[in-house]
Structure formats: structure tokens, C-alpha cells
């Protein structure tokens, strides 16, 4: 059976989801799961929850908990990473740019917030990769951590580990599309490719027939349009439906968030740190109630690809997923060093990305605007130069549509000061700071 190491197990939503997915496959029932987190309280909670779920399912999972990943990495088959570095930086990631007029929706993969999250996160991801190279060189790294594309590009630049990056936007959006056009998700066939959070449904079919006309008709109905206004506007003007939600997609392009009135007119919510804290507390509260027997545990399988990969590799069951991988001539009109999200076949021999070819040119152009930021952020991570960070933020479509270059310098420097405890020290030396002036 497989040995899985889950790093960031205190991320209770993902951890609980992945454990339930393992339990949903009887032929993974004897697997070993090592739960790793530096927060001992959360780690104790999720370990107790995992053992409860295993008992409820009548499974024989071997569950271990530790704050020392190196102790459990030897002989691992799969290493799943769901970490967040510097949770207290989420608020300044959003609130400092907002004072300069840049009102991000999520700020975890793109824009100023995405770049600074990368600066905090990538060094630890690369430390994990180095540990894997030493202790479990044949294991597959499955990354769920954002900013996905910057992380994956950094891994491919600095490490030899086998990895994929996973998101649930492709399969999640497919279910939404099926709902919009009134069919069951099992009837919808799709071929989707692009970059993380901006991949495109290149084909949408039912029984071999194109259902894009049905989706366009659905967008003309106010009750449906109002559920997804940004994505329907992108469909209207660029001809294809995109994978990420209207809320998140709105910060990838310069059209929808220039003013508060823009945001309000499309019914999009604003970032609210207190709301996120309440949601997190609700998740942990639900876990505690289930442990106390006050609520029933739902053991149904999620739509996440992570354990589907594990199941296919362990059992040889072939399936197709979408994953983030290096662009090794997969999408031929996107840069070769970029991270792309493409269909992949998974079987007992691993994850095999599919060749896509050229995207429609307008879609590749939209993707490249984000790849430019990702590439420059990766350059900054490895150079340690503050000037590279500033240039990455200057390339962001939303930021550059609102803020002039000198003001962007001030904003980035303010972010550096607010997040000093979490950013590598090289960005604070005399040379790095002088380059930003």
C-alpha cells in the first residue's frame, strides 16, 4: 500500500477532504498517512479526526502525526503539500495595495498579494524538495499550495523531484457549466488547457455535439448571468469560458476592478480578513463537533484530483485529470519555461501530460500577461533583488491599469516593511533596497 506524507495537515479543509477521499477507495484502505504540521494543536485535531474517520469507515489506515517532516519522509510514495506561510500577512497583502487603489479579490496567486505570497512560500517548498531528493527521491510531490504557477516554475528550475500542481477549478467549473445548461455533469465532455486559474474550455460537448451555443444562450438569462458575470463577459469578448470563478478571474485582467463602483456593479464581494477568520473557525468547530459525536461525518468522495492520482498509480486504474506541469512543448504558443495546466493521463507509471498544441491566439495572449508576472516573480525569488519584485508587480494587468510606476515602488516597499518577518533577508540588504529607489 501507499505511504502518503501530508505536509500542512493543519489546513483542515484540505486534510479532511483528502483523508475522506483515501477512505472512499477500499483498495487504499491499508495505506500509511503521515500528518505533518508545525501547529501542534491543529495537528492533534486533524490526527484525532483522521483516526475517527478511519474507524467510521472500517478501514485500517496507519496514521502518524509529527511536526518533523524529515522523520516521516523516508520511503514516502507521495508527498502532498498544503501549506500557508505567514497567515498574518494575508491582511497586508490585500489592505496595503487597496490603500493605493488596487483592490484585489483574493491576492494569493496574482498581483501584489500573489507575488509576496510567493516570496514567503517558495523557499520552504524548495526546502521540502531538497528533503525529498535526499529521503524519498522516487516520491511524487503533489502541490496544492498557491501561488501554484510560481511554485511549480520554481521547483522545475531548482529541483529534480517529480511533481504536479493541483487545483479544483477545472472540474468544479465543469459542474457549474453543466448546471447552467441543464445537463448532468456526467454528460459533459471537455478539453481544458491554459494556466492555473486561467485555463480554457477549448471544447465543451455532449454526445459529440458542441454545447457552447447552449452556454451562450444561458448567459443571456439574467438569473444565470448574475451568478458569473465576469466569466460570461470573458466568454462574450474572447469566445471561451475560463476555469476560475468570476470573483478570482476579475483580478487577472484589467477590466473589472478599477473602482469600487466596478466591483459593486458586478456583485463581487470585497476581501474581508475577519470573514476568513470566521470561516476558518467554523471549519475547526465542525471538526470538533464531529469528534464529540454532535454531528455526523460525511464520508463522501470529493472532486479533488490528489487521491485520484494516488489510486491510479497504486492500482493501475487509468484516468484523465488536469494538472499543472512544466510546459515541455505541451502548449506551443506559451513560453517553454512556463507552468501550464493541461489534461494528463494517470496510470501505474505516473502522470503523463497531454500535448495540446496552440491555444487560440487571444487566449494565449491573456495567459502570457500572467506568465510575465510569474516569470518575473521567479526571477526575483532566485536573485533576491527587490527591483525584480517591483518589476513583477508592475507587470500585473490590474495594478498597472491603476497605479503609476513610482507609486508601485512605494507600495511594494511598504509591503516589504509590513512582512519583514516572513520575507528572505536578502531583500532587505543595502543593495536590494537601493535598487528599489
Q: Which residues pair with 4 in a beta bridge?
A: 33, 78
Longest dimension (CA), the chain: 63
Q: How far is CA 262 from CA 105, 265, 399, in A?
A: 12, 5, 15
Catalytic residue selected from 168, 197, 247, 352:
168
State the DSSP string of 34-93: EEE-S-HHHHHHHHHHHHHHHHHHT---EEEEES-HHHH-TT-SEEEE---S-GGGHHHH
CB atoms within 10 A of CB 258: 15
Distance of alpha carbon 426 from alpha carbon 53, whole angstroms = 45
Nearest residue to 113 (alpha-carbon basis) of 128, 98, 124, 125: 98
Closest residue by Cα to residue 310 from 152, 79, 131: 79
Burial of residue 23, with CB atoms counted within 10 A of its CB: 0-12 exposed, 13-18 middle, 19 or more buried? buried
Is 168 among the residues known to form the active site? yes
Q: Please provide residue 148's backbone torsions phi and psi, each rounded to the nearest 5 degrees.
A: -55, -55
Specify the DSSP class assigned to residue 4: E
Active site residues: 168
Amino acid at each position: 500500500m501507499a505511504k502518503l506524507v501530508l505536509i500542512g495537515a493543519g489546513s483542515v479543509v484540505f486534510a479532511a477532504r483528502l483523508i475522506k477521499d483515501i477512505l472512499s477507495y477500499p483498495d487504499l484502505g491499508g495505506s500509511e498517512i503521515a500528518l505533518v504540521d508545525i501547529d501542534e494543536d491543529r495537528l492533534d485535531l486533524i490526527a484525532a479526526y483522521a483516526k475517527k474517520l478511519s474507524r467510521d469507515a472500517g478501514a485500517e489506515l496507519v496514521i502518524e502525526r509529527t511536526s518533523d517532516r524529515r522523520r516521516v519522509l523516508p520511503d514516502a510514495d507521495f508527498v502532498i503539500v498544503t501549506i500557508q506561510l505567514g497567515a498574518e500577512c494575508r491582511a497586508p497583502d490585500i489592505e496595503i495595495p487597496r490603500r493605493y487603489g488596487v483592490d484585489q479579490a483574493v491576492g494569493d496567486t496574482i498581483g501584489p498579494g500573489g507575488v509576496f505570497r510567493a516570496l514567503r512560500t517558495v523557499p520552504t517548498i524548495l526546502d521540502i524538495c531538497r528533503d525529498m531528493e535526499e529521503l524519498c527521491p522516487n516520491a511524487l510531490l503533489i502541490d496544492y499550495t498557491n501561488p501554484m504557477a510560481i511554485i511549480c516554475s520554481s521547483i522545475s528550475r531548482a529541483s529534480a523531484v517529480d511533481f504536479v500542481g493541483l487545483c479544483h477549478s477545472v472540474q468544479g467549473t465543469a459542474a457549474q457549466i453543466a448546471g447552467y445548461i441543464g445537463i448532468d455533469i456526467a454528460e459533459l465532455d471537455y478539453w481544458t488547457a491554459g494556466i492555473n486559474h486561467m485555463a480554457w474550455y477549448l471544447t465543451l460537448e455532449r454526445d459529440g455535439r458542441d454545447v457552447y451555443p447552449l452556454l451562450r444562450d444561458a448567459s443571456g438569462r439574467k438569473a444565470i448571468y448574475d451568478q458569473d458575470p465576469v466569466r460570461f463577459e470573458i466568454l462574450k469578448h474572447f469566445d471561451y469560458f475560463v476555469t476560475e470563478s468570476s470573483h478570482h478571474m476579475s483580478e487577472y485582467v484589467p477590466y473589472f476592478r478599477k473602482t469600487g463602483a466596478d466591483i459593486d456593479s458586478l456583485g463581487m464581494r470585497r476581501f474581508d480578513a475577519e470573514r476568513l477568520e470566521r470561516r476558518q473557525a467554523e471549519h475547526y468547530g465542525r471538526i470538533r463537533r464531529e469528534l464529540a459525536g454532535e454531528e455526523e461525518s460525511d464520508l463522501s468522495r470529493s472532486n479533488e484530483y490528489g487521491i485520484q492520482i494516488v489510486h491510479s498509480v497504486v492500482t493501475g486504474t487509468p484516468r484523465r485529470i488536469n494538472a499543472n506541469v512544466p510546459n515541455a512543448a505541451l502548449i506551443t504558443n506559451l513560453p517553454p519555461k512556463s507552468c501550464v495546466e493541461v489534461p494528463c493521463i494517470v496510470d501505474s507509471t505516473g502522470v503523463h501530460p497531454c500535448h495540446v498544441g496552440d491555444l487560440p491566439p487571444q487566449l494565449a495572449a491573456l495567459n502570457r500577461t500572467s506568465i510575465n508576472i510569474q516569470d518575473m516573480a521567479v526571477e526575483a525569488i532566485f536573485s533576491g533583488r527587490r527591483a525584480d519584485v517591483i518589476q513583477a508587480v508592475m507587470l500585473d494587468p490590474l495594478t498597472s491599469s491603476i497605479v503609476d510606476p513610482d507609486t508601485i515602488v512605494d507600495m511594494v516597499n511598504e509591503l516589504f516593511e509590513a512582512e519583514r518577518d516572513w520575507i528572505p533577508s536578502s531583500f532587505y540588504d543595502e543593495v536590494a533596497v537601493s535598487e528599489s529607489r
